[in-house]
Amino acid sequence: MTLPNSSDVSITYHPASDILHLNFTATRSSVSFGQAYQQALEAMLAQNVGKLLLDLKHNVSLTEEAELLHPLAAMLPEQLPRPLFIAAVVSEGQYRYQIGSALASYPPTPAQVEFNYFTSHHDATTWLSEN
């Protein structure tokens, strides 16, 4: 399965690993990360995919944790048919910001969702493969 892609966004399903991969490299403000992320989450639910790899290391500025966690709390039902694992690959600076942020003020994610940050694509893929 490959969802509609552009030069700035690609969402691809890899059946061998059961991983949906969102690669976001947009440099123009007309391409919204939020819309691409929502589309990837909707595809996960519609296709019953359990793992999502968010490749955000290039050209994505995450200023708030809520940009990643709020859609999970808002979109996903409280009860899911299976656990979901989401790995976000971010730059070193984004990682330090996210880990240093106080997580208590952000909306809770559904109980069956595990979300993790990585600075290495390899580490993120390994974590997803192990879950």
- DSSP of 78-116: SS-SS-EEEEEE--HHHHHHHHHS-GGGSPPPPTTEEEE
Q: Specify the pTM.
A: 0.81
What is the pLDDT tens value at each position of the chain, 131 positions in all?
444 556 678 888 999 999 999 887 766 555 677 778 888 888 888 888 999 999 887 655 555 444 677 777 777 777 787 889 999 888 887 777 666 664 545 555 677 888 888 999 999 999 999 99
Cα distance between residue 71 and residue 65, in whole Å: 11
| Domain encompassing residue 109 | 9-130
14 HSE (CA, 13 A, CB side) = 13
Q: Is residue 2 included in any domain, yes or no? A: no
Q: Is residue 85 included in any domain, yes or no? A: yes
Length of the chain: 131
Q: Is residue 109 included in any domain, yes or no? A: yes
Region class of 46: left (phi > 0), else alpha (psi between -120 and 50), else beta: alpha
Q: Is residue 1 included in any domain, yes or no? A: no
How deeply is 48 buried, as exposed, middle or buried, from its count of CB atoms within 10 A (0-12, 13-18, 19+)?
exposed
CATH number for the domain that contains residue 87: 3.30.750.24
Total domains in the chain come to 1
